[in-house]
Amino acid sequence: MRGGFRAAVAAVLLLAAGCTDGHGLLDPSPYEPQADPTVHADSGAGVTAANLLAFPDLDTAAVRLAAMSAGYGRVRNLLAREMARGDGLMLAAAGAAVINPLFSGATQSTLALTLGAGAGAAGRGYLAPQQRLAAYAGAAQSMGCAAGIAAELPAAGDLRSAEATAAELAARLSAARRDEAFKEPGSAMQGAVEDGQAALGALRTALRIRAVAHLRLAAFAGSVVRGTSNRVMTGALNLEAAMTAVRGLGQLPQGGASAPGAGPPASQPQGFVGPPGLPGGDALVEEIRARIAAAAPFTTTVTEIWARLPACAITS
């Protein structure tokens, strides 16, 4: 009996010795990137736990989101290795418990090995490493997905050029409404104004997205951290918190309350006729159409990139 007991104790000590790293198999406390010095170092100079989730711009957001994704990935990999090590020890003990009596081993040793394997399985169930592994894997994927969006948005088009296009299109639409041709039902001018107004609205929405994207991404990252910690601590994924943050992504400023850098307000002051020297008639229609075409690439690219963010949320 003494020999079997010693074997079981040795197996437990071997498992514990191999699982001493923070946030590993035997550490149920949740990993949070704000407390990880490696994440701080990878995020740039001057980053601390207090400001890690405060993104001043999209370039910073991309770097910090990628660093947090890597942090969650390291803990996921650590936990996976320790799970494999622990499972290997449990399987070895269970196998020895089966084989031992076949070779006339001591009954006490068989009993000790069986109890050791059973205790290991019970401990595994209590510590729930698979759930923690899934939580950290989901967080790594989510942060990485958001990092890609943060990196792509600045490359979607020149912000200054898009703002200038919005101002030029607004001026020409105002001038078109005062043109005599606009009064003719079904005229080319009316069609150009209708299409131009739709294009201007979509462009201004894209500009507002671009102006506040880093703030929305910071809120998204915070929701991922909180949701992951909640899942690790309670065993339940706080999906509602994550989806609430995602739903808030669409609540951008509207009308005249444009975000900084988002171009002119949706409606121009009364009496606005645009800069002097604008053409009229067919030439004005052509200028409106040209600005619609110029606005399309920026609008489409920003909208398509931003539309992918809800899919980055942890949903399983």
pLDDT in tens, 255-278: 333 433 344 444 443 333 445 556
pLDDT digits (tens, 9 = 90+) for 34-50: 999 999 999 999 999 99
Which tokens go with 273? 């006729």
Give the sign of the dihedral formed by CA 49, CA 54, CA 56, CA 60: positive
Report CA-CA distances (Å) from 7 to 1, 2, 3, 15, 109: 10, 9, 6, 12, 8
Any idea which residue has 């898009």 for tokens? 162
8 A C-beta contact, residue 127 and residue 28:
yes
pLDDT over threshold 70, residue 224? yes
Rg (CA), the chain: 30
* Domain parsing of the chain, residue ranges: 2-147, 157-312
- Per-residue pLDDT averaged across 217-233, rounded? 91
Confidence class of residue 205 from pLDDT cuts 50, 70 and 90? Answer: very high
pLDDT over threshold 80, residue 225? yes
d(CA 304, CA 289): 22
pLDDT digits (tens, 9 = 90+) for 75-125: 988 887 776 565 555 555 555 555 556 555 556 555 554 545 454 444 444
What is 214-270 written as a DSSP string?
Answer: HHHHHHHHHHHHHHHHHHHHHSS--HHHHHHHHHGGG----TT-PPTTS-S-SSPPT
